[in-house]
């Protein structure tokens, strides 16, 4: 709800200032974002659709954050039609923006990739932001997240493990003042 409210607020401000081009761009991204979120009630979608969902979110947030960051997306074509749980990337990208690059004194960078590693589907989301202190990193996937920001990653991790088993899920690498990389590992589901 906060994301929707903030996005609609941004659209309203752009409309009031006469920025029609960006109003259209943000509304189009928001429509695509919600269309893919619903995805006919299916729990799984293609990798390319999950990537598109994350990119729609990034388009909106990049406009809201006044070009504070750039992003880059790379997908191994082999995995484009593979299946993944939906809405895995968006909470991770949201954390990369809010806790990583959103308030940097320089331009942030977010990179998203999807490919194969050791016969598994692997997504990576990395940023050049603030990073995490070792104690935060150690408890990031704790059974009971201590604050609202930990709930999203915890839920993504739990959904993956409930669906596919304990060998799948999230892994974090982070260095203070250097950035964070989140690796999402899933089974290779080709149809």
Task: List, for residues 137-159, the tens digit of each pLDDT value.
Answer: 888 877 565 555 567 888 899 99
- Closest to 182 in 3D by CA, of 145, 146, 129: 129
Q: What is the pLDDT of residues 80-135, one digit of tens each?
A: 999 999 999 999 999 999 999 999 999 999 999 999 999 999 999 999 999 998 88
Q: Residue 13: what pLDDT? A: 87
Q: Residue 144: what pLDDT? A: 60
Q: Residue 176: what pLDDT? A: 92
What value does the mean pLDDT take over residues 150-174? 92
Q: Residue 34: what pLDDT? A: 82
Give the C-alpha distances (Å, rounded to integers) separating 189 from 39, 124, 130: 18, 18, 34
Over the chain, what is the mean pLDDT? Answer: 90
Q: Residue 39: what pLDDT? A: 63
- Closest to 72 in 3D by CA, of 31, 126, 131: 126
- Copy the structure tokens of residue 5: 């409210």
Give the C-alpha distances (Å, rounded to integers) separating 64 from 6, 48, 174: 8, 24, 26
By the 8 A CB rule, do 170 and 157 touch?
A: yes
Q: Provide the percentage of residues in the chain whose pLDDT is more than 90.
A: 69
């Amino acid at each position: 709800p906060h994301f929707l409210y903030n996005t609609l607020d941004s659209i309203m401000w752009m409309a009031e200032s006469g920025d029609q081009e960006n109003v259209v761009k943000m509304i189009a991204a928001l429509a695509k974002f919600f269309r893919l979120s619903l995805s006919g009630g299916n729990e799984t979608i293609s990798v390319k659709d999950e990537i598109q969902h994350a990119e729609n979110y990034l388009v909106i947030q990049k406009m809201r954050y006044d070009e504070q960051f750039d992003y880059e997306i790379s997908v191994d074509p082999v995995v484009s039609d593979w299946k993944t749980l939906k809405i895995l990337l968006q909470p991770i990208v949201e954390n990369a923006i809010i806790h990583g690059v959103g308030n940097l004194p320089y331009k942030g960078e977010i990179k998203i990739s999807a490919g194969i590693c050791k016969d598994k589907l692997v997504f990576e989301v990395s940023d050049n932001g603030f990073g995490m202190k070792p104690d935060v990193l150690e408890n990031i996937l704790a059974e009971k997240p201590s604050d609202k920001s930990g709930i999203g990653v915890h839920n993504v991790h739990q959904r993956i493990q409930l669906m596919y088993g304990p060998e799948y899920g999230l892994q974090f690498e982070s260095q203070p003042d250097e950035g964070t990389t989140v690796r999402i590992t899933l089974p290779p589901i080709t149809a």
